[in-house]
Structure 1
Amino acid sequence: MMWDKLNSLGKDRIPFLFISDFEAKELIVIPLDELSKHDVEYSINENYEYQRHRSELKKTLISFDKYKEKFDYVQEKIKNGDTYLLNLTAQTKIDTDLTLKEIFKLSNAHYKLRYKDEFVCFSPEKFVQIKDNTISTFPMKGTIDASVPQAQSVILANEKEMAEHIMVVDLLRNDLSMVSKNVKVKKFRYITTIDAGDKKLLQVSSHINGELENEWHENIGNILKKLLPAGSISGTPKKSTLDIIKTIEDYERGFFSGVFGIYDGESLDSGVMIRFIEKNKNGYVYKSGGGITLDSDSKSEYKELLDKIYLP
């Protein structure tokens, strides 16, 4: 029923902000003309002007041994054929003198959201965009430190990263086929540069799109619900992979790796809520992760999980 609210708002072309948790079980919807009544801030800006800051996080890391136990469990599930790609995440306790409001203001990202004094995200990853009856998604899978010699060539030539990316593209292509027609991969494996605090990361993305019916506005809730959880931060096949995630991850993702977006009455833009800090009774935790395939290396995946803990 909660997703029907989006259909009603879309039918009447009423602009809104929506925020969905990872499992699409909790949905927050705020008409934009009511946003001032809520302690919520957002920014969606692909061409933001980068602002430098010196803010750092003190991290209390999950041990490699504990991470490897989870990694090995996932590898066994892959060998059994229960999953082919699984996004394994963990939470890291962090210390910072900044408030969530200050983190939101300082961080540099395409998609930024602060929800009350509960969480903030600053994500580089698009979920779906809808414009002129075209729905597009941009799976981001594959990360490398830009300082590595010939980093772009290295990441694009890496067979494990290629296999992982192909799986995600195939999953998202199938997902879009559930809600649109004439689905195509418009651009395959292109590089974007992400400012990651004191260094830069290169990330690999692809662009997939499909055609929607003219009535998509009044079905916007149905469309989004069918596409969740986002394939790039769950895995494939989706149902069995989600069951494994629930078993192996010893915490609740909550809104981390969910999605948020803006519908302006004509088009929709949304992002995946990665690069995520949550406030709880014990302080701050930073939630991050990466995709695991049969060819993954535990030390490399552990490093990637840690590399993603930063204020951009």
Structure 2
Amino acid sequence: MDELSLKKVPFFFMVDFLLEKVEVFLENEIEEESLLIDFQNFKNIKTTEAENAEIELKILSESAEIYRKGFDFVQENLRQGNSYLTNYTVKTEIAINLTLKEIFYHSKAKYKVWYNDEFVFFSPETFVEIIDDQIYTHPMKGTIEASIENAVEILKNDVKEKAEHFTVVDLLRNDLSMVADEVQVDEFQRIDFIKTQQKDLYAMSSKISGKLKPEFQNKIGTVMKTLLPAGSILGAPKPKTLEIIVEAENYDRGFYTGVCGWFDGENLDSCVMIRFIEKENGKLFFKSGGGITHLSKFADEYQEMKNKIYVPIH
């Protein structure tokens, strides 16, 4: 990736959660038969329109017992001071009346990828953008059902959600400082509206920026290796929290919560691979979760995990 970006050669990449698997595709290697991409600044699809379809999405196993086991393990580590924010996730079996490719075409999101009929995701979350040696990140942390009265005010003032958002902003500001100078928070607690078939949500985001240090300029691979895993889907402090996650979760995340991006030869746009459906042995699993703090209540977190099982269509 460094070699390509130093030569200003456009490419698309995917890095899994544990930085064990990296896929890199030159522009002429991106074939619709195996990889579909729909980013703001890059698409390899002939049409973005799909015929309207009634989407029938069913949660087959809510895995409350499995969720509880990992949740309690995370809470114990939080009590012991091993972490102060842990992003805990589970995989839930679903049934849907569309193929993974049809889900790609029907869903609406800032970032969409379908890969080899193995997985599809429709992510609202930017990881980092690099534009003219300026680097930007947009941590998204905190959601609420939009139908709740005064939902925006409740979200902005909820003690637990606020603590979680402050932690992630602080974490990512520190992360950016490893690769950039003059790091600052440009926008704090912005509220975005996310429309889904099941229920509409509000999500809370912030914007952080800095100027890439000379030794990181035009080195996309080195930047990614330094910043990953993404703080918003990991927690803090990062090394110990990663150990907790690997033990608490009863499955391998794989590319879920990894990062993918498009480098156009000059600038980079990348996203966190969330809102993720994966095919395993002919079954479909939706991977979702959220940040756990010492203030977290089991019922609320379990509900938030389920709220995130949706396909965003208009």
In the other structure, the counterpart of 1:14 is 9
2:35 alignment partner, one of 40, 45, 68: 40
Q: Please tell me the residue identity of whatever aligns with 2:3.
A: S
In the other structure, the counterpart of 1:209 is 209
Q: Please tell me the residue identity of whatever aligns with 1:96.
A: I
SS in 2 for 1:109: coil
| Paired-residue identity, % | 47
SS in 2 for 1:30: strand
Per-residue CA distance 1:155-213 (angstroms, 9 max, x = gap): 00101110010110111011000111111011111100011223210000000011014
Distance across 1 between alignment mates of 2:222 and 2:214: 15
Distance across 1 between alignment mates of 2:62 and 2:245: 17
In the other structure, the counterpart of 2:104 is 104
Q: Please tell me the residue identity of whatever aligns with 2:281.
A: K
| Unmatched tracts of structure 1, length 5 or more | 1-5
Q: Please tell me the residue identity of whatever aligns with 1:188.
A: F
Residues 133 and 216, structure 1, Cα contact 8 Å, conserved in 2: no
Is 2:175 the partner of 1:175? yes
Distance across 2 between alignment mates of 1:11 and 1:24: 21
Per-residue CA distance 1:72-111 (angstroms, 9 max, x = gap): 2111100101110001100001112311111110111001
**Backbone CA RMSD of aligned residues:** 1.8
In the other structure, the counterpart of 1:292 is 292
SS in 1 for 2:175: helix
Q: Please tell me the residue identity of whatever aligns with 1:167.
A: T
Distance across 1 between alignment mates of 2:310 and 2:54: 11
TM-score (normalizing by structure 2) = 0.93
Q: What's the CA shift for 1:57?
A: 1.2
Residues 13 and 217, structure 1, Cα contact 8 Å, conserved in 2: no
Per-residue CA distance 1:201-254 (angstroms, 9 max, x = gap): 000000001101466453110001111000000110000000011111000000
Distance across 2 between alignment mates of 1:84 and 1:291: 10
Distance across 1 between alignment mates of 2:213 and 2:295: 40
- Alignment length, in residue pairs? 306
In the other structure, the counterpart of 1:220 is 220
Aligned pairs (5 A) from 1:111-190: 111-190=111-190
Structure 1: 4+ residue segments shifted above 3 A:
48-53, 213-218
Closer, same or farther in 2 for the Cα pair 1:38/1:182, shift >3 Å? farther
Residues 10 and 217, structure 1, Cα contact 8 Å, conserved in 2: no
Q: What's the CA shift for 1:39?
A: 1.1
Q: What's the CA shift for 1:61?
A: 2.6
SS in 2 for 1:89: strand
Range with greater deviation from structure 2 (52-61 or 129-138): 52-61
Distance across 2 between alignment mates of 1:95 and 1:198: 14
SS in 1 for 2:243: helix
Distance across 2 between alignment mates of 1:50 and 1:97: 18
Is 2:187 the partner of 1:199? no
In the other structure, the counterpart of 2:78 is 78
